[in-house]
Structure 1
Amino acid sequence: MKKLLTASFFALIIGGMTSCSVQKQSAANKVELPNKKEVLEVSRRVNQYFMNKWPDTKKDIVGKKVWPSNLWTRAVYYEGLMALYTIDPKKEYYDYAMSWANNHKWDLQRGTYTRNADHQACGQTYLDLYEIDGRKHPERIKNVKAAMDSMIATPKVDDWWWIDALQMSMPIFTKLGRITGEQKYFDKNYEMYAYTKYKHGGNGLYNQADKIWWRDKSFVPPYKEPNGEDCYWSRGNGWVVAALAKTLHDTPKSDPHYQEYLQDYKDLLAALLPIQREDGFWNVSLHDPNNFGGKEMTGTALFVYGMAYGVNNGLIDRETYLPVLVKAWNAIAKDSVQPNGFLGWVQGTGKEPKDGQPLSVSKEPDFEDYGLGCLLLAGSEVYKLK
């Protein structure tokens, strides 16, 4: 009798697990993938709007002050353009990126030896263009390589004190590591990442309990949102998602830190699942939906990018994440992308939920370029879904 009861118990458990798995599979099967032609049309439309508005790739960006056009906001756009080029290899995209790089002499904002991640971000596109042309033009990566080599030459590892920096600089180290085959780039990348994760702000900017990141030490407890929760900024965590996806793409699986990157990536994506809005977006404040609550495109697009990348590369569970990312992409395409290619619900530059508020479908942010880059990154991975 005891054996029969034990067998029955395990049969019930296995049956329940199988039923759960079948339900998840069934739910994923019911998800209608975005039409590839429509994804491409949306990506082309928003990109064309921007290229028409900014035909001169060297023109300074004028706002509260004047910025050169190789600053981080524009660099994120070109990251997105390079992603679009992988699925839609139009010569005009290549020419536009080449014009930008040539106009800035393949140099980083504020010179070759800057340690600031924002000033280095343009190097990601320089590296992409170097590879697109078969690695035949070493002058294209001379300056960005010199900058990263100068960082490696010192023991300093605390440069990335804000989490946005991870997306701006980590992919440069890992791209160089893959291109050159030199381990030093992967090693320095981890040392700096680990300092941000475990040291900055006292005990690191990564909350091990919630699996989400504080933007910088200003938001580490005792700082609280109006509802008493920690302040987790949507786009800031979006930058981390993008940084980890790109790092995983270029870091060998044999690297001693690959599994830690992978676990952090999985944990952060899992933490996003229960806090997605009903309309498909995420709020600017991830744990306080009432603190400047509303649609926000940039953080949402970066989460879509990270989830779609994980599904496409078998890193995360398709049945769990496909419905979530498709819902988010559809929301962006429906509610953010306008008929002329303008992007609504884009939070302006800043570091926390209150910056750039209030948002609307028609409000033009202080910079239009990085929001487009986020969308193009997302669209390039959504297009690849099978």
Structure 2
Amino acid sequence: MAASTRRDIEANIQRVSEYTRAMDLEREPIPGGAKFMAIEGLIATGLSQNIDHAKRLVDRSIETQVGTGELSYGDRNFYTSPCALATSVLEFYDRTGDERYLDAAERQVQYVLDAPRVGNGGISHNKDTPQLWVDSLYLMHPPIAQLGSALGEEELYDEAAEQILAHAEYLQDDATGLFRHIWTETPNDYPEGSFWGRGNGWAAAGILEVLEAIPNHHDRRDELLEIFHDHLETIVELQDECGYWWNVIDDDSTFLETSVTTIYAYVLRRGIDIGVVPGAYETATKRAFDAIGASINDDGVVTGATYVTTHDPNEQLTSEDVFSPSGYAQGWYLKTATYYLENDHLVAE
């Protein structure tokens, strides 16, 4: 297995950065996913042009924060989607100490804390009917824990952990550890019950980031680790020999998808480094990271990633409007490639 060269990775990061900065992210229809992830990827690179551009996007998200507290004009369909931007807002609070960033993050997080809940306390993702979505594990739970760190409020650590457990109660499959996409309270069923690839990646990344934010002595930490380990055990088994994962994780009749592969390349590598993922998964990280390098085209587009999913990701999405370029894939590549480069993982001179 050939390691990626430092020169190749740096060139990819430069091309992907340039393309991402040129994207019209203000018009992203899903600010809590695509726009947020593009911002996070730009920040992760540490490049001055990228940081400046990310700051403009974050400042604009605060300027367009609505009266309810929702960032970036809010979302008319979902409670949790804009909440992810609170993570980026807190990044600039850490960098600048400017209280307006902290205030904006507090207002956004408080909005989701006040949102309707299902019977076990899980915050509804959907505004029309009480539902739990796998998306929330990444879009909503980490910002709650991260705000807890910024404010020194342990009850926010508790809330983030409880939300993961509440969502896992209905979304995580007992037999496989995989996560279903959507559960609805009334009627008690799964309007979209497949093991959607990027959704599972979001679950893994969200749990990882909450584990990093909460104290090691937190009384729900072991439960979170059990959910995390059960999930990753199956994920590693389902990786295709080429290094990718499928759009529906357990269905090789669907297409190989870049964004989910990039997420797991990051989650597994970062998890090993901080001691929450078994070192035995090293081979899976190598296969994934080597595979995604070939997805970058000459324009800096991370190819082979879906922009949106239908409510049934088992459908073969083949029309051009659902594929790259996508803020999801651009951001996750920048975050993952920078992490591997900075930590000398799979990097050849």
Shorter-chain TM range is 0.7 to 0.9
CA distance in 1, matches of 2:344, 2:66: 35
Verify: 1:345 aligned to 2:345, yes or no: no
* 1:237 partnered with 2:207: no
Please list, as runs of the form range in 1=range in 2, the aligned pairs for 1:85-234 lying within 5 A after superposition.
Answer: 85=46, 90-105=47-62, 108=65, 111-112=68-69, 116-133=79-96, 136-152=97-113, 156=117, 157-158=121-122, 159-160=124-125, 161-198=132-169, 204-217=170-183, 231-234=194-197
Identify the residue that residue 327 of structure 1 maps to in structure 2.
Answer: 287
Residues 16, 330 of structure 2: 8 Å contact kept: yes
Distance in 2 separating the partners of 1:109 and 1:284: 34
Aligned counterpart, 1:301: 262
- Residues 356 and 125 of structure 1: is their aligned pair in 2 closer, same or farther, counting only changes over 3 Å? farther
For the structure 1 residues 262 and 377, does the alpha-carbon distance in structure 2 shift closer, same or farther, using more than 3 Å as the test? farther
CA deviation after TM superposition for structure 1 residue 347, in Å: 1.4
How far apart in 1 are the matches of 2:168 and 2:35?
27
Partner of 1:6: none
Match of 2:9 among 39, 44, 55: 39
Match of 1:260 in 2: 223
Q: Distance in 2 between matches of 1:194 and 1:365?
A: 32
Q: Hey, what's the Cα distance between the residues in 2 that align with 1:316 and 1:303? A: 12
Question: Which residue of the partner structure matches residue 60 of structure 1?
Answer: 27
Q: Point out where structure 2 has 5 or more consecutive residues left out of the alignment.
A: 126-131
Could you tell me whether the CA contact under 8 Å between 1:210 and 1:271 is conserved in 2?
A: yes
Q: Provide Cα deviations, 1:212-259, integer angstroms capped at 9, x if missing partner.
A: 1111127x999799xxxx731111100001101111111110111122
SS at match of 1:345: coil
Q: Distance in 1 between matches of 2:112 and 2:239?
A: 38
Seen in structure 2, the aligned counterparts of structure 1 residues 99 and 264 have a Cα distance that, compared at 3 Å, is same
Shift of 1:358: 1.9
SS, match of residue 343 in structure 1: coil
* C-alpha distance in structure 2 between counterparts of 1:153 and 1:104, whole Å: 21
Deviation at 1:36, TM superposition (A): 3.7
What amino acid maps onto 1:76 in structure 2?
M
Shift of 1:322: 1.8
> Aligned-pair distance for 1:138?
0.9
CA RMSD of aligned residues (A): 2.9
1:75 aligns with 2:32: no
| Equivalent in the alignment of 1:16 | none
Change (3 A) 1:149 1:348: closer
Displacement after TM superposition at 1:83 (Å) = 2.1
Partner of 1:277: 240
Counterpart-to-counterpart distance in 2, 1:99 and 1:33: 35
2:66 and 2:220 map into 1 onto residues whose CA distance is: 30
The one-letter code sitting in structure 2 at the alignment partner of 1:376 is L
2:331 to 359, 373, 378: 373
Residue 70 and residue 317 in structure 1: after superposition, are their counterparts in 2 closer, same or farther (change >3 A)? closer
Aligned residue-pair number: 325
Kindly indicate whether the alpha-carbon contact (under 8 Å) linking 1:108 and 1:119 is maintained by their aligned counterparts in 2: no
Q: Does the 8 Å CA contact 2:89/2:101 hold for their aligned counterparts?
A: yes
The answer on whether the counterparts of 1:166 and 1:243 sit within 8 Å (CA) in structure 2 is: yes
Q: TM-score, normalised by structure 2?
A: 0.83
Choose the corresponding residue for 1:84, options 30, 33, 45: 45
- In structure 1, distance between residues paired with 2:318 and 2:114: 44
CA distance in 1: counterparts of 2:287 and 2:241, whole angstroms? 9
In structure 1, what is the Cα distance between the partners aligned to 2:258 and 2:51?
Answer: 26
In structure 1, how many angstroms separate the alpha carbons of the residues matched to 2:212 and 2:61? 27
Kept in 2, the 8 Å contact 1:33–1:385? The answer is no
CA spacing shift, 1:109–1:212, aligned 2, 3 Å = farther
Distance 2:285 2:234 in 1: 14
Percent identity, aligned pairs only, is: 18
